[in-house]
Amino acid sequence: MLVGLFGSFSRGEERDDSDIDIVYEIEKDQKFSMFKYLKYLSDLERSLNHKVDLVRAETIKADLKPYIYKDLIYV
């Protein structure tokens, strides 16, 4: 699994009310259930004390990819 940070936090432009934008990529043969997604989302929001936008890379619309990937920092 690859995980990356994008958006205002990756650019150092975050504000107190900013959410944390995270993109993840998983291999096609990996299973990632809705339950697991919601658990990760809940754990991230609790530990980071921010709202998190957790986005699967394959679901990003083609016209948005350049804007997301230009700021992407893999973690």
Q: Residue 43 has what pLDDT? A: 98
Q: Which fold has domain 2-74?
A: Beta Polymerase; domain 2 (3.30.460)
* Those residues with Cβ within 8 angstroms of residue 3's Cβ, 6 or more apart along the chain or in another chain: 22, 23, 24, 25, 74, 75
pLDDT digit string (tens) for 7-61? 999 999 999 999 999 999 988 888 888 999 999 999 999 999 999 999 999 999 9
Task: Provide the whole-model pTM.
Answer: 0.89
Return the half-sphere exposure (C-beta side, CA atoms, 13 A cut-off) of residue 52: 21
